[in-house]
Amino acid sequence: LGRLFFVPYSDFSEKIYKGHPQSPQTAAATTAAAAAAAAATAATAAAAETTAATAAAVETTAAAAAATAAAEAVEEETPGRDRRRGLRRRTTR
């Protein structure tokens, strides 16, 4: 811990203070942080792709619902089997 938090009597803190390269611990921490950032970026990209896919699915569902509604409207406009049966029943009686 002394090496990570730069306690005055640790070797690495003195080396860093004098301008020497980073300690192995600090380099490892930096690498780990970079890896975590890369993983977070990848997760964000995956989430964005998932969101886009979900949006596309919602659009597809909405389009299908609109098509179904249009088909139902056409069916209602044109006399269907039930109406013809009803008319025939009325005419035969």
Please list the pLDDT of the chain residue by residue as tens digits (93 residues).
Answer: 445 555 555 555 555 555 445 566 667 777 778 888 888 888 888 888 888 888 888 888 888 888 888 777 666 655 555 555 555 555 555
Dihedral angle over CA of 26, 29, 31, 36, nearest 10: -160
Domain-wise residue ranges, the chain? 11-92
- Decide: 3 and 29 in contact? Cβ < 8 Å: no
Over the stretch 32-56, which tens digit does the pLDDT of each residue have?
788 888 888 888 888 888 888 888 8
